[in-house]
Copies of this chain bind each other. A is one copy, B any other.
Amino acid sequence: MGATEPTRVLVVGAGAIGSFYGAILHRAGAEVSVVCRSDVGVVREGGFRIKSRPLGDLSFRPAQVHASVDEVERSPDYLLLCVKVLDGVDRAALIAPAVGPRTAIVLIENGIGIEREVAEAFPGNPLISALGMVGVSRTGPGEILHNHYGRLVLGDYPSGAGERARHLGALLDAGGVTGEVSEDVVTARWAKCLWNTAFNPLSVLGGGADTATMTGSESTDQLLRALMIEICAVAAADGHPLDEGLIDGYLERTRTFPGYRNSMALDYLNGRPLELDAILGNVLRIAAERGVEVPRLDTIYRSIRLLQDMQARDAEDADTGIAEQVQ
């Protein structure tokens, strides 16, 4: 870095994932600012306290801590968008105030087809799609525990690996994790989705099931396998054929890994909104566009929608004090 000005990074949505990668880029010499809503007071006071099992202490103080994107005065070189992808949240509008003409937008988010609306809103900006392969969790306000992994797979959307993506990859490497630059990040996204789209929604129907329980029975193993076969068919029809050998590999690795709850299972158990459309609904939309039959994925999607309808109805009954009449 030396005499040149450091790379300026803005993390929008500094939860566990966002603050972890912010810390890595800070470690690589970048000037990292953040927008965080809930923990803004704590983070302004003392920065992020990040304990990493593989990397040691990653605590850092952001250059600036904003409560809102509207407070950002100078647009960054890289804007890392790390918010959840939810119905009714306009991510393009959210980041617009901070996006300058040279800002590369980096999406570190779950799901399939989540780039489209951002690409359409900022056609002149480099758009980098990225997948965090990382086990990290928020343990308190401004407090993060990094358990394992950290690799970020990234590339230009819809394909390619330009200078801005390669520079970001190099910064991540310098910061201590692998920044794996891909010429075909959408295929990489489908490969990650193969796991998430099968495991995450099913874990909700399983009452917030953890991976050990899910891979611990032959019955669920067969269902996960059948779901992944449907996902592979959609990916292939969308021009991103996956090696079906991935399926066995994922199941085997998940089975031998200590059990944990995925993000959607945790969101469900904590009453938070689910990234259902990003992770599953968009896959169904693409399947319909491409004429691929996905009866099992569709059944799971509609069952979760019913569960959500029922929860909304129960909440409404509780609000109005009307008791359910059972016959």
CB pair B327 A258 closer than 8 Å:
yes
Q: Is A271 an interface residue (CB 8 A)?
A: no
> Quick one: closest B residue to A261, CB to CB?
B326
Within 8 Å CB of A226, what residues of B?
295, 298-299
Tell which of A6-14, A94-102, A124-132, A214-222 binds the partner: A214-222
Tell which of A29-37, A240-248, A302-310 binds the partner: A302-310
CB pair A137 B306 closer than 8 Å:
no
Q: Quickly give the copy total for this chain.
A: 2
Q: How far is the CA of A217 from the CA of B309 in the complex (A)?
A: 9
Tell which of A84-92, A177-185, A205-213 binds the partner: A205-213
Q: How far is the CA of A299 from the CA of B266 in the complex (A)?
A: 22
Report A232-267 residues with CB < 8 Å from chain B CB: 258-261, 266
Within 8 Å CB of A205, what residues of B?
205, 303, 306-307
> Quick one: closest B residue to A326, CB to CB?
B261
Distance (whole angstroms) from the CB of A265 to the closest CB of chain B: 9
> Quick one: closest B residue to A221, CB to CB?
B302
Q: How far is the CA of A208 from the CA of B207 in the complex (A)?
A: 12
CB pair A206 B307 closer than 8 Å:
yes
CB pair A202 B306 closer than 8 Å:
yes
CB pair B327 A260 closer than 8 Å:
yes
Q: Is A311 an interface residue (CB 8 A)?
A: yes
Q: Is A135 an interface residue (CB 8 A)?
A: yes
Contact for A307 among B207, B216, B258, CB less than 8 A: B207
Q: How far is the CA of A197 from the CA of B160 in the complex (A)?
A: 50
Distance (whole angstroms) from the CB of A102 to the closest CB of chain B: 38
CB pair A310 B147 closer than 8 Å:
no
Within 8 Å CB of A296, what residues of B?
295-296, 298-299
> Quick one: closest B residue to A148, CB to CB?
B327
Q: Is A300 an interface residue (CB 8 A)?
A: yes
> Other CB < 8 Å A-B pairs besides A295-B299, A299-B299, 8 of them?
A135-B327, A217-B309, A219-B302, A222-B302, A226-B299, A258-B327, A260-B325, A260-B326
- A residues sitting closer than 8 Å to B (CB atoms) are 135, 137, 147, 202, 205-210, 213-214, 216-217, 219-220, 222-223, 226, 258-261, 266, 295-296, 298-300, 302-303, 305-307, 309-311, 313-314, 324-327
Q: Can you list 23 A-B pairs with a CB-CB distance of less than 8 A? A: A135-B327, A137-B326, A205-B205, A205-B303, A205-B306, A206-B307, A209-B309, A210-B310, A210-B324, A213-B306, A216-B309, A217-B306, A219-B306, A220-B302, A220-B306, A220-B309, A222-B302, A223-B306, A226-B295, A258-B325, A260-B327, A299-B299, A303-B303
